[in-house]
Amino acid sequence: MFERKILIFMAVVECGSFSAAGKALFMSQSAVSQQINNLEEELGVQLFDRNHYRPKLTDAGQFYYQEVKRLKNDYVRIVTYMQNRTQKHITIGYTTFYTNRLACEFVDKYASQIAHRVEFKYYDLGHEREVLENHDVDMVFGLIEEFKNDDSILYKELYTGQLCLIVSEKHPYASKENIDIHLLKNAPMIIMSPEAVGHYYSYFLKGLKKDGIIPNIIKRVDNLNDLKMSVALNEGVGLLPKEICMANDGIHVIPLKNTKQLVHFGIAYQDLIFEKVANVFADYFKQYKNKL
């Protein structure tokens, strides 16, 4: 990808000296120096301050090194990604309970239609775009709100769910079969932080506003386990899709009435080669939505 003199420059930085880089590259020190001189002349800047025992990067050199290193790392990721494509291997990122629960059944039923080996990889909630853009995964399950404003990301909506109230077994609402959202106006509420859920955070608050609710937020947490634990300890109540939070560990899940809050789940990808797989997933969720 890079011209040899750029790789030699990176070797000097990483080895600490011209002579050490020469040994690593099986070159003479003078040959390394000549390549660095050629690069500096081409760029029109001095990359190293040579007035020290060891060459020290100038500000321009530091900037240049950081940028070419980033480009090299990006290139390695792209090569790995392309190699995985030719090997007919698809990595799908997931986080929510329902995707974990149905993944095996999906692969068993639809493997012949996909014609790829499918691997599922867990990631923390709120990292949907990051893992996709870094090519850590080929496709990723997540909340549609995280993808819909990014033109570089394609997605298929798989399922629309409604929020439920989660409370501890000691909470006064624990015995209710359902609850009107307007009863939650003053309830101490624990929610996911904007760092954890990205664009969904503002979507969630706007939805509550449409319901006439200004939430009494007492705590923001960075992961689902912390939210569930805080609710189980009766520190406050939470609002989550039932697909993410099934009743367990001292938590009760109660359907909400009179709410406009909807949660849109989907699968996102950046390469049209995966559109067929996305369509297969969409078909699967149409048939199995009663299991969600």
pLDDT at residue 232 in the model: 93
Q: Other CB atoms closer than 10 Å to residue 170's CB: what's the count?
A: 11
DSSP letter at 119 equals E
Question: Which residue is it, tokens 């496709």?
Answer: 139
Residues 123 and 94 sit within 8 Å (Cβ to Cβ): yes
68/1 Cα distance (integer angstroms): 11
Pick from 263, 241, 269, 240: which is nearest to 129 by CA?
269
Single-letter code of the amino acid located at 88: K
Q: Which regions of the chain are under pLDDT 50? A: none
178/159 Cα distance (integer angstroms): 22
pLDDT at residue 154 in the model: 92
Residues 156 and 281 sit within 8 Å (Cβ to Cβ): yes
pLDDT at residue 83 in the model: 67
pLDDT at residue 108 in the model: 66
pLDDT at residue 93 in the model: 87
Token pair, residue 8, equals 């030699």
* Strand, coil or helix: 49: strand
Supply the angle between the helices 18-25 and 29-43 in degrees, to the nearest 10: 110
DSSP letter at 136 equals S
